[in-house]
Structure 1
Amino acid sequence: MLKIIDKYILKRYLATFSVMLLMFIPIGIVIDVSEKVNRMIENQAPFNEIAWYYLDFTIYFANLLFPIFLFLSVIWFTSKLANNTEIIAILSSGISFTRFMRPYIVGATIVSFFALIMSVYLVPSASAGFKNFRYKYLIGNGQNEMRDNSDVFRQISKDEYLFVSGYNEVSKMAFNFSMEKFEGDKLKYKLIASRIKWNEKTKNYTLFSYSKRKVGEYGDIIERGEKKDTIFNFDLEDLTPLVYIAETLPLNELHKFIDKEKARGSSNINTYLVVLYKKYSIPVSAFILTIIAVAVSAMKRRGGMGANLAIGIVLAFAFVFLDKVFGVLAEKSTAPPLLAVWTPNIVFGLLAIYLLRNAKR
């Protein structure tokens, strides 16, 4: 009996959540196409890049908004159970409210597991493609705007500095490359190139239309060429614009990148830490929002499903609002990133405990 009820609720949990995603993602794509099709045409975006962009768009926003979709889907089907007096029948048979919650927790565990896997393996790649296409074709005047917003100037060692004016994640190529090496306050050499490309197979870089000037005591030595393969002591991530670099790195690379930026004393370290902590906080939110959704919608209300959905929408957007506010607070202030990222889960976790106690009564 109990296993049948568990399977029934778990099936409804996963099915409703899946349908909710399949309904809203295409709507989001249609709205995005209608808003951006003119810029894609003006900036001559190739069709294959547009197709990849919307695949990345789907993964990126499914991960970003999955707590809302999960919350509303649980409220939707639990409200239907309540309106059909199914929950009353289940509890009247002697099953406790805590036992009734078991299939919901199992469902939240499954969803959280897949959300974590996506966040670690799929979302970084999707974020890279999504952001790169956006900066290349959609913001302002396309590539010119991308160049203005993606300049990279970094100190890669005690006496070495590099600069690029744009980076393409797909081709692993940066533009208007410049590298300078100093000894004290004296310039030792300067290397410039129109492009620099990372070669995945050979693990080296290729310079195009390059020029290298070595500053000598009695005269400079200049080397020029159209193409040259070489090795540098900086990583590929050092060429990536700061505006979205952390979002494009897999978990293990993100940890290494954060350690390296801490050693350099980067001023953007809080931004990177927020990205890291959210990979863990978002899956946990599935449990909290599931408990709140069940506690809110398990009671049969006079307003029916409409009242429950209204409450759910308000709570869902309150969660997103807190998440955004504290995320920005962590990036732009001295607030501890770990506390800021987890504050929405802490606040709604306390709310979940309160609502669950009332629902049991």
Structure 2
Amino acid sequence: MKILDKYLLKTFLTTFTTVFVILFFIFILQTVWLFIAELAGKDLDIFMIVKFLAFSMPRIVPLVLPLSVLLSSIMTFGNLAENYEFAAMKSSGISLQRAMRSLTVFIFFLSIIAFLFANNVIPYAEYKFINFRKNIAQVKPALAITEGQFSDVGFYNIKVNKKTGENGNVLTGVTIHKKSNIGDGSKTVIKAKDGELISSEQSSILQLVLNNGYYYEDIVPKKYEERSKMPFAKSSFKKQIINIDLSELNKVEVNNESVSNSNTMLTVNELRYTLDSLNKNLKTDIISFSENSNTKIAVPADKKFSQIKKTKPLPNNILSLYTMEEQLAILKIASSNVTSTSYAIDTSNTELENKQKNINRHLQAFYDKFVIVYACFLMFFIGAPLGAIIRKGGLGLPIVFAVLIFITFHFINTFGKRIAQENGMTPFMGAWLSSMILTPLAILLTYRATNDIGLINMDVILAPFQKVIKKIFPSQN
């Protein structure tokens, strides 16, 4: 390796490491802010908080890595151009492409590491992160309940005045509002002097044992007019046990160890296998729905219709063969069949759309593992020539350009994924849309930096205006 390559690689690595650490720390703070409700006021020890953050860190890398490559590229080549080191290179016959050669090799290996990280580390971390959030209330069940305020736990809103015990599982002053199944508020209130939380890591059931309390229930009549006549039920108890299903908190089955319930928890090979199963399942459902629809629509004719059909040709108005009472009955049956068939079609269509959206999400997760590889190259070939053009290093102008470009990349990427999930475009286009749009920018910047054209040719922009001004105000000889 030549001295120039070593110098450029050392300069870039120093800048890249610094930028990556700073950005990673910023995004970690954002993660803490997003999950502050789960961390604050839950009596979590420092080990559990560190574990929580450790499992959430890998998902940040696909955001931080391309931005770090972009910013460090602008800063590195901006410093070289600002300090006239590029001018010295060009005077020695070293072009921009030659200066970028060693760094391109480094970006190539960095992209391979990024792919391996996205394909192996991130799915494992996602699996651990989701299960850790799910099990946090089972390992320490009192974490699901915050002292002094109502906490939403499954179908119950629970408030306790004080928590004691080694794991905070002994409760004092318990008030429980049971949610109504029909969504019209709480009709049942339970108050107890004290209680105890009992749970097991092998089960998703959290037992709440209440002692010395009262049970209130507002009995709802069938007719609203009779509401004032119904009594308000009240009973007392010395001991009552309430079982709470904690698996509903995160919609994840506790005993289900397969990772097929989340596309972010799958590797490339697992995604291929899952996509194959999902597509086969969708095709089977479509065939089954079409066959069932044909069976429902095909209604056998009655005996009277069959007899008339054999003896003479049918009239244009088939209903005229029947009496008024029979016509009314036939029309009611037909209307009922149309309504039920329409409802079945709408229901099946919704189910098929949801399955297709699930397939789209898996396809996007598959493409995302390759997008991060290309994004590293893309950001480098945008940042390096851009830094050489603007000729500014440091943390001023490079940060402005880097943030604008990355926000554009991230916004288009998010927009494309949302549209693809709703079948507005193919998942491939949704995942690669931002890369496709910014690739011409990378080519343009590389071309202009190589030929020393500059970022914007002001002469081309100002020439038409100059011609107009000369025509309006001709020069005096």
Scaled to the shorter chain, the TM-score interval is 0.5 to 0.7
Unaligned runs of 5+ in 1: 149-170, 177-193, 197-204, 208-233
How far, CA to CA, are the matches of 2:16 and 2:440 in structure 1?
Answer: 24
- Give the structure 2 partner of residue 107 of structure 1: 106
- Give the structure 1 partner of residue 433 of structure 2: 343
Which region of structure 1 is more displaced relative to structure 2, 344-353 or 27-36? 27-36
Equivalent residue in structure 1 for 2:423, among 318, 326, 333: 333
- Give the structure 2 partner of residue 69 of structure 1: 68
- Give the structure 2 partner of residue 255 of structure 1: 272
Q: How many residues align?
A: 281
Bigger radius of gyration, 1 or 2?
Answer: 2
1:18 maps onto 2:13 in alignment: no
SS of aligned partner of 2:425: coil
The CA deviation at 1:307 is: 2.8
Amino acid at match of 1:249: L
* 1:159-214 Cα distance to aligned partner (Å, 9 max, x none): xxxxxxxxxxxx797679xxxxxxxxxxxxxxxxx799xxxxxxxx998xxxxxxx
Equivalent residue in structure 1 for 2:263, among 246, 257, 274: 246
Which region of structure 1 is more displaced relative to structure 2, 38-47 or 245-254? 38-47
TM-score (norm 2): 0.52
Q: Give runs of aligned pairs for residues 277-356 of structure 1, distance below 5 A.
A: 277-301=367-391, 306-356=396-446
How far, CA to CA, are the matches of 1:65 and 1:308 in structure 2?
Answer: 16
The CA deviation at 1:137 is: 7.0
- Give the structure 2 partner of residue 87 of structure 1: 86
Contact 2:259 2:265 in 1 (8 A): no
How far, CA to CA, are the matches of 1:137 and 1:327 in structure 2?
Answer: 31
The CA deviation at 1:358 is: 0.8
Structure 1 residues 39 and 331: alpha-carbon distance in aligned structure 2, compared to 1, 3 A threshold: same
How far, CA to CA, are the matches of 1:251 and 1:278 in structure 2?
Answer: 10
- Give the structure 1 partner of residue 362 of structure 2: 272
* 1:13-72 Cα distance to aligned partner (Å, 9 max, x none): 233222212222233334544664564243444544322221122221023331112111
Contact 2:416 2:430 in 1 (8 A): yes
Contact 2:416 2:431 in 1 (8 A): yes
Structure 1 residues 89 and 345: alpha-carbon distance in aligned structure 2, compared to 1, 3 A threshold: same
The CA deviation at 1:309 is: 3.0
Amino acid at match of 2:420: A
- Give the structure 1 partner of residue 182 of structure 2: none
Q: Give runs of aligned pairs for residues 174-213 of structure 1, distance below 5 A.
A: none
How far, CA to CA, are the matches of 1:11 and 1:277 in structure 2?
Answer: 32
1:236 maps onto 2:269 in alignment: no
Q: RMSD across aligned C-alpha pairs, in angstroms? A: 3.5
Unaligned runs of 5+ in 2: 138-142, 146-150, 156-200, 207-244, 248-252, 283-354, 452-477
How far, CA to CA, are the matches of 2:429 and 2:254 in structure 1?
Answer: 43
Amino acid at match of 1:8: Y
- Give the structure 2 partner of residue 166 of structure 1: none
Q: Sequence identity of aligned pairs in percent?
A: 25
Contact 1:258 1:273 in 2 (8 A): yes
SS of aligned partner of 1:298: helix
SS of aligned partner of 1:333: coil
